[in-house]
Amino acid sequence: MQKLEQLYEGKAKKVYKTSEPELLMVDYKDDATAFNGEKKGTIASKGIINNRVTNFLMQLLEKEGIPTHFVEEISERETVVKKVTIVPLEVIIRNIAAGSFSKRYGVEEGTELKCPTLEFSYKDDSLGDPLINEYHVLALGLATKEEIDLIAKYSFKVNEVLSKYLLGLGIELVDFKLEFGKTSDGTIVLADEISPDTCRFWDVETHEKLDKDRFRRDMGGVEDAYHEIMRRLMGE
């Protein structure tokens, strides 16, 4: 299989065509952004860590019956994935109040929620990825009722599997963002990434932040936090 021309460059990844029409190659970058691209910077080795952590967790989820776009990790920054059409929704699962949730609802950060919550946002940077509900999704034709139900089911299953697994490593899964895509035959699969860029990871004992919040909030120790997640997951 050959890597061909670049199809797309996003905030965190480059995507390339391959000689296999149903497969793409993703190349993870060290670029970091926050607040819809308003804040920009670089986190050393972020691309390597996010690639390896994502692939590790995707394979873990596959074993638990959640289909993903993962095919093969071919280098420390590059992974072959199934070609999908992204469903234009970001799915946010929250277990503990933090970030925009705390601000929006006046809930102190760190408050454990009585049950996990699910939010949809419309994936459109120019609009600031606004929150939408199921009725909006249907009205705008972004997904069918069956697709929404399946995406919600998979998202809560991801939360169940990862929360339990990470807790065993001394990590609290505070909240996280998922994206899903459709393969050429219409199958819904988990896509994009699962990493310190897209999840809030806190140390269980100290509640130290081990994720992109350290970059967003100018807390320092960003590279160390990303490396700590990879160390706990993969012993590296």
- 114's enclosing H/E stretch is strand 112-122
Tokens at residue 36, please?
């819809």
Please, are residues 66 and 103 in contact by the beta-carbon 8 Å criterion?
no
- Supply angle C-alpha 7, 43, 59, rounded to 5: 60
Tokens at residue 211, please?
């994720």
Tokens at residue 100, please?
């925009």
Ranges in the chain, pLDDT < 70: none
Tokens at residue 122, please?
């419309």
pLDDT of residue 17: 97
CATH (one of 3.40.47.10, 3.10.105.10, 3.40.50.720, 3.30.470.20) for 85-221: 3.30.470.20
Give me the DSSP letters along 167-199.
Answer: HTTTEEEEEEEEEEEE-TT--EEEES--STTTE
What phi and psi values does residue 93 have, to the nearest 5 degrees? -105, 135
Q: Tokens 């946010």: give the residue.
A: 92
How far apart, in Å, are the Cα atoms of 88 and each of 39, 66, 83, 189, 201? 23, 19, 15, 13, 25
pLDDT of residue 217: 93
Please, are residues 58 and 70 in contact by the beta-carbon 8 Å criterion?
yes
Q: Tokens 């505070």: give the residue.
A: 174
pLDDT of residue 21: 96
- Written as one letter, the residue type at 53 is V
Domain edges within the chain:
3-82, 85-221
Domain 3-82, classified CATH 3.40.50.720, yes or no: no
Please, are residues 200 and 175 in contact by the beta-carbon 8 Å criterion?
yes
Q: What CA–CA distance (Å, rounded) separates 229 from 211?
A: 8
| 42 beta partners | 31
Non-local (6+) Cβ contacts of 128 within 8 A are: 36
